[in-house]
Amino acid sequence: MKKQIKKEELTLRDLFEVTEKGFQNIESRMATKEDLFAVETKLWHKIEDGERRLTAKIDSIGDDVEALEVTEIRGIQRRLIILEKDVKSLKGKHG
């Protein structure tokens, strides 16, 4: 039993030493307020850049939709009006 107790004590002691070494000079490895502000600034710049890109893409899509509306939908509307006139004239001939 004494050997088990010694092993446990060594294990606890080793754990304590490892933990203690891990915390040595911790202040020199910690981020400062300036470091955190720099990270925040970089993140905001990335967010703003992404927002600008998305806005440009949305505007481009809006332009594409408008172009389709002008070329396709209005063309279809014109053809539909012509077809309606043709149907009315056929009804008049056969009616």
56/21 Cα distance (integer angstroms):
52
Q: What is the pTM of this model?
A: 0.46
Positive or negative, the CA dihedral 13, 15, 16, 22 is positive
Assigned token pair, 10: 């060594």
Positive or negative, the CA dihedral 82, 85, 86, 87 is positive
Assigned token pair, 81: 């009006």
What confidence tens digit (pLDDT) does each residue in 4-16 have?
Answer: 556 566 678 888 8
What confidence tens digit (pLDDT) does each residue in 38-84 have?
Answer: 999 999 999 999 999 999 999 999 999 888 888 888 888 899 999 99
